[in-house]
Amino acid sequence: AQTVTQSQPEMSVQEAETVTLSCTYDTSENNYYLFWYKQPPSRQMILVIRQEAYKQQNATENRFSVNFQKAAKSFSLKISDSQLGDTAMYFCAFMKGNNNAGNMLTFGGGTRLMVKP
Amino acid sequence: ETGVTQTPRHLVMGMTNKKSLKCEQHLGHNAMYWYKQSAKKPLELMFVYNFKEQTENNSVPSRFSPECPNSSHLFLHLHTLQPEDSALYLCASSQVARGNYGYTFGSGTRLTVV
């Protein structure tokens, strides 16, 4: 079974600064995918960024980037130029590859991020 | 509008009531999921439907009964719930075997059992 751990229950950052959210995971799989989801107060989970384990290059999406360290099983999210709209819960998630029974996501416990003006 | 719609948005029910949660996706996905999100706990996978067939039941009590009549609709039938079942119930969909691009979620149903 896979586990995902987010060791920072809460974080805060000043607007326009950079913040990094941590995530570690445990798996015996070699083919898998990692995700960061954002859940604002509206409750809807929104995909922020996705990483394929077989790709060494770190994924980036505008102000969001990851530091994927496969050997260390670490997958941190960096948010640059933080904006007030980035205030939300952030969830790290793991998905096995080649699972034709359904792509089951395993989530970490979440990190509550507050962006301060 | 994200393509996954959940109704109702809020639900208050007594322990003897029977109610249903509805989820509808307009994305052409072939898999649908129910997750439970409780305070201070990680999201818990409840059920998975792949091409309308249930492929995962994560040891969920029988007072929760899923139904997937077609690949666009998913229901969660509730009966004789307990107060600890109060939570946010999230529905999601995905396209299996297409690069695993993750889920699209609905906005959830906030359930309160009194």
Q: What is the pLDDT of residue A102?
A: 61
Q: Which residue of A has its CA nearest to B35?
A: A105
A to B CB pairs, distance under 8 Å: 69
- Distances from the Cα of A41 to the Cα of A45, A103, A108, angstroms: 10, 26, 18
Render pLDDT for B17-34 as a digit per residue (tens, 0 to 9). 899 999 999 899 988 999
The reply to whether residue A102 touches residue B92, judged by beta carbons under 8 angstroms, is no
The residue of B43, B47, B50, B95 whose CB has the most chain A CBs within 10 angstroms, and thus the best one to mutate to test that interface, is: B43
Distance CA B49, CA B20 (A): 17
pLDDT tens for each residue of A40-98: 988 889 999 999 998 889 999 999 999 999 999 999 999 999 999 999 999 999 998 76
Using 50, 70 and 90 to split pLDDT, how confident is the model at B97?
A: low
Residues of A within 8 A of B41 (CB-CB) are 109
- A50 vs B96: CB contact, 8 Å cut-off? no
pLDDT given for residue B25 in this prediction: 96
> Given B55, B102, B107, which is nearest A102 (Cβ)?
B55
In this complex, do A101 and B56 lie within 8 Å of one another by their Cβ atoms?
Answer: yes
Q: Residue B59 — very low, low, confident or very high, per pLDDT cuts 50/70/90?
A: confident
Q: Which residues of A touch B101 (CB under 8 A)?
A: 50
